[in-house]
Structure 1
């Protein structure tokens, strides 16, 4: 992990624990503005120490088994940070959380990463999640959402989206209508994401543990048409449920720029409606609206169950994750009696004094 992100790291460790991992997924963090130290976290009820390094080189040398880096560097420093990480051959995946990364810098990183066989996720992403195994940063939300969406064990459905917020919605929709998520990736909202829909859909197609695929595209760009070509060429044969959000833009007379940098239609073919029509014509399972997406996923899943391509397994409850004291107190779940604390120290064996007054007199006189 690059950066001082204690809350995100603790969230990842809690996810590891609820997935019944034997050891934490996070082995170290690095931050150039502090010295080497160890930081305390929880793994279930057990307190553990995770090393933090000033030098990225020392971090990778000390932990040669680490192949994934998550960088929380800001848009001002993320280019240099990722450039340095790409120098280490052990790295296979880098997740870039920062928004607002200049497009020329992103394209340079894409070229270098492609030449070295490294997968980039982001920029402008919440990351991704592999239920039962690992999650990136704050993906999946709070623990109650993770448990409700059954992300603590793998399902049979893999998805890819641009939006991190909508990926959490997909977790919810898929968990309610199928046996759960196998893997989910939010590629990021910039016009030049580090990895594309195509990269991940092809991975899912080649993974026998994935039985169906969900694609959530959006207005702007033409990446969805590459999926159309894959469907026409029969390179994607698994059931693909797809929907492109942003159809409301067609009903607005002025040009619309949505929240993502790439979410703006600069031509008719970049509109969500045109993409949905093309996906439907190529064989994708496209609902009539986003409200109907869950029903389309449910129908597809039920068909696979009837064909015995998916065989539902008995649900095993996850282990309970202890709640932090501060959070439990904020929710009103616990209470603690008031305590008297003093910093007075006198080890001579005589009665403690406060400003020259015996402590018993202070208490008896109700002075403190």
Structure 2
């Protein structure tokens, strides 16, 4: 099992003819993703040449819109590699087409554009799940990749991972590669994102093959505190966590646009305290968090 993405997902790439879109289309195909086409209104009617996971040459059609791509291919997932200035239009187009899952990789999307798109999606009935922006996307190892996560870090297994940080997603997948992952999601670190820790944790809780949930947060906002409340009330599976930013100097905005701390709210310590109060084991480093996860998994195996 997995959440949100599997081997049957039919994926299109918005921006498939651009440099980043082309490079990562090749990597997604190599990971086994069923990519069925792309979108670029200026190059509609053309094709782009790639190689599938078995080394066979394939030509992917380029469509003028997401709606046309869905109608012609049955696509239910889109990955958007679109520059920040055009991301709002690309997201709205995907929402209007009612595609099931949209992964927005782009960094630097204006917060007001993200907020507009979020509100627009709610108004339209939330038929589209949005992951991102400013994220590495989602991977179900051995089945499909929608995004930029390296597919060779880890194989399939019983751990579900949700992370604000792309780099820490990769590190955690590598550290726990001996167990493997059902699905790993990088939700992005911007102040306004489409899929939250809570959304992913709820899906992992409902997934019969996910035995342990790892959540990675970082300073800024209150997403982790809200996730802690949700875990306490609704989650029966073991959860381990890590919060990036314990050494962040007070009063400075760090890295991600979402890493804004107000008073004690949003600090790594406040988030750690909230998670531990909800029964989540929290490591002070990514490796310590991986060790906590490993202990739980080994105890489950021996039991």
Common fold: TM-score over 0.5 = yes
Equivalent position of 2:252 in the other structure: 256
Equivalent position of 1:57 in the other structure: 67
Matched, 1:34 2:43: yes
CA distance in 1: counterparts of 2:69 and 2:285, whole angstroms? 48
Equivalent position of 2:57 in the other structure: 47
Residue in structure 2 matching 1:98, options 100, 106, 113: 106
Matched, 1:86 2:83: no
CA distance in 1: counterparts of 2:130 and 2:114, whole angstroms? 10
Higher relative contact order (CA 8 A, sep 6+): 2
Find the structure with the greater CA-based Rg.
1
Relative to structure 1, the CA distance from residue 281 to residue 57 in structure 2 (aligned partners, 3 Å threshold; closer, same or farther) is: closer
Residue in structure 2 matching 1:11, options 27, 45, 51: 27
Q: How many residues align?
A: 284
Matched, 1:165 2:175: no
Q: Is the 8 A contact 2:66 2:97 kept in 1?
A: no
Aligned-CA RMSD value? 1.5
Within a 5 Å distance, the mapping from 1:65-76 to structure 2 comes to 65-76=74-85
SS in 1 for 2:282: coil
Matched, 1:191 2:191: yes
Deviation of 1:288 after TM superposition, in Å, equals 4.1
Equivalent position of 2:237 in the other structure: 238
CA distance in 1: counterparts of 2:236 and 2:147, whole angstroms? 32
Equivalent position of 2:120 in the other structure: 112
Equivalent position of 1:280 in the other structure: 276
CA distance in 1: counterparts of 2:208 and 2:69, whole angstroms? 35
Deviation of 1:47 after TM superposition, in Å, equals 1.0
SS in 1 for 2:213: strand
Structure 1 stretch 99-108 or stretch 54-63: which is displaced more?
54-63
Q: Is the 8 A contact 1:119 1:195 kept in 2?
A: yes
In the TM superposition, what whole-angstrom CA distance separates every residue of 1:15-66 from its partner, at most 9, and x where no partner exists?
00xxxxxxx5100001122241122111122111111123433322211x21
Structure 1 stretch 280-289 or stretch 297-306: which is displaced more?
280-289
Q: Is the 8 A contact 1:11 1:137 kept in 2?
A: no
Relative to structure 1, the CA distance from residue 258 to residue 27 in structure 2 (aligned partners, 3 Å threshold; closer, same or farther) is: same
Deviation of 1:76 after TM superposition, in Å, equals 0.5
Q: Is the 8 A contact 2:163 2:215 kept in 1?
A: yes
CA distance in 2: counterparts of 1:35 and 1:120, whole angstroms? 24
Deviation of 1:10 after TM superposition, in Å, equals 0.9
Q: Any gaps of 5 or more consecutive residues in structure 2? A: 1-12
Q: Is the 8 A contact 1:67 1:92 kept in 2?
A: yes
CA distance in 1: counterparts of 2:296 and 2:255, whole angstroms? 31
Q: Any gaps of 5 or more consecutive residues in structure 1? A: 17-23, 141-145, 308-368
Relative to structure 1, the CA distance from residue 157 to residue 31 in structure 2 (aligned partners, 3 Å threshold; closer, same or farther) is: same
CA distance in 2: counterparts of 1:56 and 1:119, whole angstroms? 15
CA distance in 2: counterparts of 1:206 and 1:137, whole angstroms? 23
- Structure whose residues are more often strand by fraction: 2
